[in-house]
Amino acid sequence: MNACRTACFALLMCILAHWHNLARADWRDQIVYFVLLDRFDDGDPSNNWQGPRHLGIYDPRRSDRYSGGDLKGLERRLDYIAGLGMTAVWISPPVRQQWWEPKTQSTGYHGYWAADFKSIDPHLGTLADYQRLARRLRERGMRLIQDIVLNHTGDYFDINPQNGRYQANRGSIPAAPLQWPFNMNDPRRALDRRYNIFHWTPAISNYNDPDQEARYQMSGLDDLNTDHPTIRRALRESYGLWIDKVGVDAFRIDTAFYVSPDFLYDFMHSPDPSAPGMHERAARRGMKGFFAFGEGFGIDRNGETLQSKRIESYMHDASGRQVLGGMLNFPLYAAFDKVFARGASPAYLLDRLTEMQRLHPRWHWMPSFLDNHDVDRFLSSGDETGLRLAMLAMMTLPGIPVIYYGTEQGFKLQRPAMFATGWGSGGQSHFDLHSPMASWIRALSELRRSNKLWSRAGFTPIAVSRDGPGLLAFARAAWPDADPSDHFSHEGLVLMNTASQPRAVPLNLLGLSSIDPRWIRLAWSADGGRDAYQKGDRDAYQDGGRDAYQKRGSGIYKESEGLIVLAPGSALVLEVPAELINRPSASNNPKPAQGMVDLIAQWDPAKRLSFIADQEGGLPSETLSAWIGDGEEALSVIVREGQKAWSQPQSFVLKRARRMLFCTTDPALDDRGPSGTYRYPTGSHWEAIRAADLRKVEIVSDGEGLEFVVEMAAISQRWAPRYGFDHVMLTLFLELPKRSGGQFAMPLQFGNLPEGMRWHLRARLGGWSQALFSSKDSSSEREGTAVLADLAIEADPAARRIKFRLPGHLLRPGESWNGSRIYINTWDYDAGYRPLQPLAGPFQFGGAQPTAAREMDAIGPFRLNTGLSVASCDSKAVLSP
């Protein structure tokens, strides 16, 4: 007995020691793996069938039903997650869900429709399963993050916006929340009205209205009155239970923007002794500095900071109090996506990073990500090279990196299963630690964890291309006033080239005279593969084995005339002794060029020019204007100042003419499909909005590219879309007269282009996603090959216009837009073009068989004549001067 007690005591001490070490760990140093539990792994098939079988609540054939993933499945895959280099696991909400939502015929498999905040959903397992998972994580020195929802429950009732009447969601399973006080949800009962647990409001119709955002129902989910003391206490009690019983290390807070910072401060810091805030609750368990980060889906356009400032207000309130430890970095996500998946200039990212450094004192504690469960996967429109470079940027910048499950396996669907029997898996298991992207993520994790300068040091921008894809260079070094534990002997340098041609950066701008191969931690290019630092290499060098380094980075970069020339699609990561860095300060007053001038434009070694400057230091504008990037007005040059020294970049602005090439109108109310019998879905105000009704298309030349302005019958923003419009997807097909091949079929839309047209480029443009494809490898079922291009989508709801742009670099040598044929149609999209069926459903179009063409309205085909100009749709075309 005594021996048993001794062993048990020793085990307890071991677990407490693990917990103590975890409590002391710095969240800046973590690398997080985000798991959607239902889609990760099915460790216990016996819990799959819950509720009435005839409803098909569990049906792995459908994306909106339970697939079978659970807590036991996650537990048995912890070695896989640790093998990727992850140090923490973030799980989707494990609490009891609304299993059946009859209006949309869908389920709460995802975890965000709560029925009981205090119990585990039986689909996922038991409390004992959850506790065992937490223990297994602690034994590995890993952390557990639980996703929580504070703003709403599931959808158990509606409020009519016209008359305020309550309507129960009949057929819902369960019929109401199972937990007090959240089950007091019927205002027809006097006691429920007196408690006022809910806001009794309809769905949000205007996400720009702060009152609606705070009190109305998001997507019809029942909005909690989080100003109410009873609700505040109930939520603290509910989620404090998971700290007490399971020992979760952190919370991710869903839809944080829909509750107030004051409520969140109370949730985290309340002094209530019987229902304390999460910090005190965790402290009672010996966990100091409990971490919580929120979701605020806010994305700023270039040069704007409104959403970033709002995000900051949830980390520090107006009085300077810390509210949450961090917020998901959605503005950074948008910059990653725009630069690495869409082919925009890296300047968009560098400018955003500079703003973050200014706005966010806790930038290092803000989780960053490339994929998540609410946005399209990176690879749904980007390519593997872009994903590798984006992953490298995320792992070497401030912020807590988050890897969404399946990214390491090249997933393109938003929420497919990792296990063979789940939805979207293709009948295969996907737990392969040796896949190309899994190996890349493991190498980057090792890099980040090997030196804390990558997770804790400051950020310094060095150089960037502003004319499209190209150069990005930045440094990571200790803050001048950093804590002594955050001083580093080395400085990190990250150089990457997102262009398809070489780019050059002067060594002296990096603070170097040359590159010592010992400093290279990682070198990679799309063509040359990866040459990462391997354990033992430095020892070999110190023993005189310099030859071991001679090939490091070969084919990826070269030094020439004081420049580092990076290969296309390449990256170089250095750790340089800090005392060897001697970086020049930027000059606000560059000297005018005089005498013989040797310059490089746009960091492109192919754009090099030697000339004799005039007395005023002028530059040959005719030559330089030809080097301006497509759609840009700025030209950046560096000038040689010595044998191996170059100037700071100097910028010049040159204007380009714009002219309208084409304009056409489309009849109103013809959005009824090819047969004229189509109907909009019955839910979410589709018929009233008629967001798929095209009215006019204008095409403008802005130099090398084409700008499209599409006028609609109406612009909806009911779902707070990223690009400013929802309830419609525009699809553009473009035929190039000098390009062979092409495709007649409209992929995934069950139809062919009219008038014998064939497309070579196809753009899919929605409120949450944009994608561009070439016709290579396309078919009626395959979208083709992804093409990197920033389509620059913008919406103007007041003018009912959607604007986007096809950049000139999409044309091959010898091609032009002249003679192109264009066809544009409308439908809607949610992880695929929405279904079509004889009778319309809540999210299904109606009026035809499922195999009929999926287009509500269309314009074209029409042919473009770039030699003509028009003033408006009512004017005649004239020859361009």
C-alpha torsion sign, points 230, 232, 238, 243: negative
Does some domain include residue 381?
Answer: no
- The stretches in the chain having pLDDT less than 50 are 4, 6-19, 530-551, 588-589, 880-881
Domain annotation covers residue 449: no
| Residues in a beta bridge with 522 | 532, 573
Burial (CB count <10 Å: 0-12, 13-18, 19+), residue 58: buried
Decide: 305 and 355 in contact? Cβ < 8 Å: yes
Q: How many whole angstroms from its chain centre is CA 426?
A: 24
Q: Which residues pair with 730 in a beta bridge?
A: 765, 826
Is residue 505 within 8 Å of residue 471, measured between CB atoms? yes
Task: Provide the residue type at 289 as one letter.
Answer: G
758 torsion bin: left (phi>0), alpha (psi -120 to 50), beta (else): beta
What are residue 316's DSSP bridge partners?
322
pLDDT value for 550? 37
Tokens of 362: 């806790």
CA distance 217 to 255: 12
First-last CA distance in the chain: 99
544-558 pLDDT, tens digit per residue, is 333 333 345 557 888
Structural domain of 637: 596-653
- Assigned domain for 49 exists: no
Cβ–Cβ < 8 Å for 76, 134: no
**Residue 791's closest CA among 776, 773, 771?**
771
Spatial CB neighbours of 533, under 8 Å, sequence gap ≥ 6: 447, 450, 520, 521, 522
- Contact indicator for 351, 474 with CB cutoff of 8 Å: no
**Same domain as 667, residue 807:** yes
| Residues near 616 by beta carbon (within 8 Å), at least 6 away in sequence | 592
Residue 850 lies in a domain: yes
Q: Is 190 exposed, middle or buried (0-12, 13-18, 19+ CB in 10 A)?
A: exposed
Residues 828 and 698 in one domain: yes
Cβ neighbors of 14 (< 8 A, separation 6 or more) are: none
CA–CA separation, 83 and 768 (whole Å): 33
Cα–Cα distance for residue pair 360/316, rounded to 1 Å: 9
**CATH number, position 532:** 2.60.40.1180
Strand ranges inside 547-703, DSSP E: 557-560, 563-566, 570-577, 596-601, 608-612, 634-639, 650-653, 659-665, 694-701
**Residues 769 and 858 occupy one common structural domain:** yes
CB 604 within 8 A of CB 621: no
pLDDT digits (tens, 9 = 90+) for 808-865: 889 998 999 999 999 999 999 988 999 999 999 888 999 999 999 999 999 999 999 9
- Provide the pLDDT for residue 21: 52
Instruction: Determine the angle formed by the axes of helices 436-450 and 384-396, rounding to 10 degrees.
Output: 20
In whole angstroms, how far apart are CA 478 and each of 165, 392, 578, 582? 60, 20, 9, 15
Regarding whether 694 and 765 lie in a shared domain, the answer is yes
249 phi and psi angles, rounded to 5 deg? -95, -20
- For 83, other C-beta atoms within 10 Å of its C-beta total 15
Shared domain for 740 and 820, answered yes or no, is yes
What CATH number does the domain containing 784 carry? 2.60.40.1190
Euclidean distance between CA atoms 77 and 33, whole angstroms: 12
Residue 312 CA to residue 316 CA, distance in Å, equals 6
**Residues 719, 570 share a domain:** no
Instruction: Give the DSSP H/E element, type plus range, for residue 154.
Output: none
Pair (558, 493) in one structural domain: yes
Q: Tell me 679's DSSP state.
A: B
Q: Report the b/e string of 793-802 with b at 16+ CB within 10 A.
A: bebeeeebbb
Backbone angles phi, psi at 373, to 5 degrees: -75, -10
Residue whose pair of structure tokens reads 């960037």 in the numeric block: 464
Q: How many Å separate Cα 221 from the centre of its chain?
A: 24
- Phi and psi of 139, rounded to 5°? -60, -25
In 3D space, the residue among 833, 645, 874, 672 whose CA is nearest the CA of residue 746 turns out to be 833
CA dihedral 741, 747, 753, 757 (to 10 degrees): -10
Cα 747 to Cα 229, 758, 768, 781, 824, distances in angstroms: 53, 12, 19, 5, 14
How high is the pLDDT of residue 301?
84
Token readout for 469 is: 């894809």
**Residue 352 located in a structural domain:** no
Domain co-membership, 771 together with 861: yes
Q: What is the DSSP letter of 221?
A: P
What DSSP designation does 402 have?
A: E
- Measured CA to CA, the distance from residue 797 to residue 763 in angstroms comes to 21
Residue 471 in domain: yes
Which residues, including other chains, have CB under 8 Å from residue 752's CB and lie 6 or more apart?
Answer: 744, 745, 746
**314, 323 in Cβ contact below 8 A?**
yes
706 and 815 share one domain? yes
Closest CA to 214 of 260, 254, 182, 255: 260
- What local confidence, expressed as pLDDT, does residue 878 receive? 54
Tell the residue number behind the tokens 């993050």, with chain if given.
145
Tokens of residue 773, six digits? 């494809």
Query: Are 846 and 708 found together in one domain?
Result: yes
Record the tokens describing residue 555, joined without a space: 């084919």
CA dist list (Å): 452 to 27, 72, 325, 443, 672: 12, 33, 20, 15, 59
In a domain, 808, yes or no: yes
Decide which of 653, 673, 692 is a domain's last residue. Answer: 653
Same domain for 748 and 607: no
Handedness of CA 283, 285, 286, 292 (dihedral sign): negative
Whether residues 786 and 856 share a domain: the answer is: yes
At 747, is the secondary structure helix, strand, or coil? coil
Specify if 574 maps to a domain: yes
> How far is residue 171's CA from residue 842's CA, in Å, rounded to a whole number?
15
Total count of domains within the chain: 3
556, 580, 604: which is the final residue of a domain? 580
Q: And the tokens for 721? A: 């879309």
Domain boundary (613, 637, 653) is at 653
Residue 423 structure tokens: 């939805």
